[in-house]
Amino acid sequence: MNASHETASSDQSPATTYGHYVLIWIGLVALTSLTVALAGISLGRWVIFTALTIASIKSTMVLFHFMHLRSEERIFRIFVFVALLTLAIFVVLTFFDYAFR
């Protein structure tokens, strides 16, 4: 291999250990358990907000750790952010439409 390829591969972040993946998995299971537990509690209008907040935290964990977004280039992270922002705008607009009918 040439020197430029070796330099490019050495700039990447170190490999993630299995222990790190297990901790992330435990966190995802805990948040899923919290979602299930909160489903049995009457929170009124806050039910959807809490469920979406927990789902957002879980999806962020998956994006950054299992999909390795934290080690991607900045431009790729910006594209993912713009896509998620667009999704968030659609969700907010849907809730406003539903709330004022």
Q: Closest Cα to residue 32, out of 56, 60, 55, 63?
A: 55
Average pLDDT over residues 86-97: 90
Q: Who wins on pLDDT, 85 or 47? A: 85
Distance in angstroms (rounded) separating the CA atoms of residues 61 and 21? 11
Listed by start position, the domains of the chain span: 17-67, 73-101
pTM, to two decimals: 0.67
Indicate if the alpha-carbon torsion angle 66, 24, 73, 85 is positive or negative: positive
pLDDT tens sequence across 4-59: 444 444 455 566 788 888 999 999 999 999 999 988 888 888 888 888 899 989 99
